[in-house]
Amino acid sequence: MNLLGDAEDRAFAREDLVYNVTEDLLVFLEDNDISKKELARRLGKSKSYITQVLSGSRNMTLGSFSDICFSLGFKPEIKIPVQEEPIAEKTEFSWGTYDKKIHGTKVVKKLVKRHSNVIDRSNPEHWVKAA
């Protein structure tokens, strides 16, 4: 295990991510004729804050990234590679519901995969409505 190499790889990946996200936001601003001043106004922040965030000199949290995206009129997306388990061929699933009492009085319908407590929503075309 090369700890120095791992640290360098991590640092490079971090800088690459910061660069790509901020660059994409700057391109979006330019393409849509939105100034940093206007973005600051929409967010209720100072123009210097926006300049710092978009230059990468200030840490952009996922929360601030989300706020920026929504103020620009789009939903943020982050893609993490997740290996999906293969679904067995010719397997059909169905949904069922059950009533769940909350605080002893309120009844809420819960949607579950029939005969299981696991809900897999990753591939909806494999699900059919319960009869």
pLDDT at res. 81: 86
DSSP class per residue in 31-72: HTT--HHHHHHHHT--HHHHHHHHHTSS---HHHHHHHHHHT
Q: With the C-alpha atoms ordered 14, 19, 22, 28, is the resulting torsion angle positive or negative?
A: negative
Residue matched to tokens 């790889």: 9
Question: What are the pLDDT tens digits along the chain (131 aa)?
Answer: 565 678 889 999 999 999 999 999 999 999 999 999 999 999 999 999 999 999 989 999 999 999 999 999 999 988 888 877 665 555 555 666 555 655 666 665 655 555 444 555 555 555 555 54
In angstroms, rounded to a whole number, what is the distance separating the alpha carbons of residues 47 and 69? Answer: 16
Q: What is the pLDDT of residue 78?
A: 87
CA 56 to chain centroid, in Å, comes to 20
